[in-house]
Amino acid sequence: MKKAKMENLAIVLNGPKHPGNIGAVARCAKNMGISSIIVVNPLNADREKIEQMATHFALDIVEEIKYFDRLDLALAPFNHIIGTTGRSGNTSLKRSMIYPGKMAEDIVDLSQDNRVALLFGPEDRGLANSELKYCDVLVKIPTSEGLKSINLSQAVMIICYEIFTAGSELTSMFTPKLAASAEIEAMYDHLKETFLRIGFIKAQNPDYWMTNVRRFFSRTRLFARDVKIIRGICHQVELYGRGKTK
């Protein structure tokens, strides 16, 4: 059986409000064999309270937590980003919505040669549209109508458990290395600049028009070579516009 490479996975907590939840997530990570936690803009990162919830079992995980001020920088090295959301309605930046079981099956193969981020939003509101745009896939944890909200550490445990227990028969399938988030964001910036120059999108609120472009590319996995090809096309379009190509 082929299993997910847990060492290629990282839990990313964006804007957590309670240090106890960070500690509880560290213990979940330890339970499921994940050693990497990234925390972005925590409201309170009181070390003592984090350690209390992590207990001595997960202190090694707490010691290695990486802190960032910006989400884009935290996600930059990752090739595949999974966002968690409790919202089932349409959003302007919505990616394909799947359940944890299907997500875990995909991660078994992807994690063999790609770094994967499991992104969770603040306890009270989850991920905003400006944060969802970085995600390749959205995962929804089904709950009863009686109480839809899930504690942050509970959500982390459900997602990590599904990945930990997922497995598939060994096959000869090979997944090339996906483009990192930083490469994809640079591609979108390059596309936006090119589209503005040729008048393909309107100068007023260009990010709104780029939403459809992001949605288009989100339907497939972009490999590093794909990003290079797209940026190369943009470069040639710019040269053509300046009369520097034959």
Distance CA 235, CA 231 (A): 6
Which phi and psi angles does 138 have, rounded to 5°?
-110, 135
pTM attached to this predicted model:
0.76
Domain ranges of the chain: 2-168, 181-241
* Local structure of 162: helix, strand or coil: helix
With a cut of 90, say whether residue 147 has pLDDT above it.
no
Residue indicated by tokens 């979940």: 28
Using one digit for the tens of pLDDT, what is the confidence trace for 20-62?
999 999 999 999 999 999 999 999 999 999 999 999 999 999 9
Domain 2-168 classified CATH 3.40.50.10470? Answer: no
Share of the chain above pLDDT 70, in %: 91
Give all strands (DSSP E) within the chain, no chain letters.
Answer: 2-3, 9-14, 36-40, 66-68, 80-84, 97-98, 116-120, 137-139, 167-168
Question: pLDDT tier at 150 (50, 70, 90 boundaries)?
Answer: confident
| 181-241 is classed CATH 1.10.8.590 | yes
d(CA 10, CA 145): 30
Residue 130 has which token pair?
């400006």
- Among 70, 68, 98, 102, residue whose Cα is nearest residue 85: 98
